[in-house]
Structure 1
């Protein structure tokens, strides 16, 4: 099963009967906009008990075209990596966590 924004919004609505589906969707969109803005700015994002999104700079490096075998230079770029929290990792692995 895929977790979509609509599913998240529906779970928010179910958890709080006073929130409409439209409001819940707006909350999800707002949260994701804040996350995107922070990551694009180059900041790391820590969500306690879940994990950390880390923005890393990769320098220019030599690569190879897999189809032709020709050498080429890969441009420097930024990547986002995710490091799960210990609590999340334990839950995924089935360890007992409070």
Structure 2
């Protein structure tokens, strides 16, 4: 699903204009981004948590030369799904596998 498809689906579901839906989605993205920049996490009970995770340092290979390259540790944004989201998606996947 693309951003424009998400905006359209949100607008239809909420019974609002696409313009308002897009503004709400953009505001959500901005708020989550700012919180993560500050090192905070954003928890939406039942849906999931947006947080920063530390990626461990590792040794990689340059695909062009085959040379080993050290990649330093860094923080990356992550999403941890909540219980309700996990259960809802697992049920759907089980239904599809039965068919």
Normalised by the length of structure 2, the TM-score is: 0.71
Answer 1 or 2: which has greater helix percent. Answer: 2
Change (3 A) 1:93 1:15: closer
Deviations along 1:42-92, one digit per CA (max 9) or x if unpaired, are 221211111112202335444443444433321332112221111111111
Normalised by the length of structure 1, the TM-score is: 0.71
Q: What 5-or-longer segments of structure 2 have no aligned partner?
A: 93-99
Please give the root-mean-square deviation of Cα atoms over the aligned residues, in Å: 2.3
In the alignment, the residues of structure 2 paired with residue 74 and residue 80 of structure 1 have an alpha-carbon distance, to the nearest angstrom, of: 17
How many pairs align? Answer: 92
Contact 2:32–2:50 under 8 Å retained in 1: no
Of the three residues 18, 22, 29, the one matched with 2:19 is: 22
Q: What 5-or-longer segments of structure 1 have no aligned partner?
A: none
